[in-house]
């Protein structure tokens, strides 16, 4: 667990913050396409919407819970496991992902609908046109955040922890299977709760991790910023 700020890592921290903000921005674009978001976001959109619709929040004097707030609370529950099992995975990037992505997505969702007047349902041609730039931005920003060296989100850390535990007993690396299982489970929860799922969500179950890893490695070798 590292939360130091010095001359050596200030650039990495700032770059990480920009990356997670762009993730939130691109996530709001993916929501507009109705083709689906990443599995974790699809689940969190669904669960936060289901909780709001249930009326249970009235006990606390609230009517709704935003995606950003629920995503923060969801990761807050997971971070306890990470702190206990592998605190070295926690850093500024952990907090950045937990807080900035969700609330940035909330802000731009509000901006698109209430400032720009963009309707919830867009014509197919427009949805397809904004899908590619939204997806490219999401993958690039996710790769930069994950390779910033400032820790990772609890959701991303759980498969690493589980795969290490399994490897200790079996001697085999099952990280990919564990990550795929986690993403698939979240996708199913998103489907059940009516989250922001779609064709892209199911594709991301199998492709998001490897693609982000490949892009991050490429940027690390060829990019000007070592943070990626």
| Sequential DSSP letters for 176-221 | HHHHHHHHHHHHHHHHHTT-S-SHHHHHHHHHHHHHHHHHHHHHHH
Q: 91 has which bridge partners? A: 2
Give the residue from 42, 33, 45, 94 showing the smallest Cα distance to 70.
Answer: 45
Segment 109-136 mean pLDDT: 93
Q: For the chain, which residues make up each domain, given as ranges? A: 10-222
**What digits encode the pLDDT tens for the residues 138-190?**
988 888 888 777 888 999 899 889 988 898 888 888 888 898 999 999 999 99
Helical H segments across the chain, by residue range: 10-33, 39-54, 67-85, 92-96, 102-110, 124-146, 154-170, 175-192, 199-222
Query: How big is the chain by its Cα radius of gyration, in Å?
Result: 18
- Contact (CB, 8 A) for 144 and 19: yes
Residue where the block lists tokens 């950003």: 68
Give percent of the chain with pLDDT exceeding 90: 58
- Contact (CB, 8 A) for 111 and 31: no
**What digits encode the pLDDT tens for the residues 176-226?**
889 899 999 999 999 999 999 999 999 988 887 777 767 766 766 655 443
Greatest CA separation found in the chain?
A: 55
What is the structure's pLDDT at 174? 84
Query: Would the pTM count as exceeding 0.75?
Result: yes
**What digits encode the pLDDT tens for the residues 72-117?**
999 999 999 999 999 988 999 999 999 999 999 999 999 999 999 9
């Amino acid at each position: 667990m590292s939360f130091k700020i010095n001359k050596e890592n200030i650039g990495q921290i700032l770059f990480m913050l920009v990356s997670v903000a762009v993730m939130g921005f691109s996530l709001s674009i993916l929501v507009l396409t109705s083709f689906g978001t990443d599995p974790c976001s699809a689940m969190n959109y669904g669960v936060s919407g289901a909780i709001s619709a249930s009326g249970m929040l009235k006990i606390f004097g609230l009517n709704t819970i935003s995606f950003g707030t629920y995503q923060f609370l969801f990761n807050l529950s997971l971070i306890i496991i990470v702190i206990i099992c592998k605190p070295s995975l926690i850093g500024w990037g952990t907090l950045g992902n937990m807080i900035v992505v969700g609330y940035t997505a909330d802000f731009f969702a509000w901006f698109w609908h209430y400032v720009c007047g963009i309707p919830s349902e867009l014509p197919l041609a427009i949805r397809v046109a904004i899908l590619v730039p939204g997806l490219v931005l999401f993958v690039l920003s996710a790769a930069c955040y994950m390779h910033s060296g400032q820790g990772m989100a609890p959701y991303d850390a759980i498969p690493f922890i589980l795969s290490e535990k399994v490897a200790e007993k079996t001697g085999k690396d099952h990280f990919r299977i564990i990550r795929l299982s986690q993403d698939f489970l979240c996708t199913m929860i998103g489907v059940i709760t009516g989250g922001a799922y779609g064709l892209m969500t199911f594709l991301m179950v199998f492709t998001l991790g490897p693609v982000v890893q490949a892009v991050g490695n490429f940027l690390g070798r060829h990019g000007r910023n070592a943070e990626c």
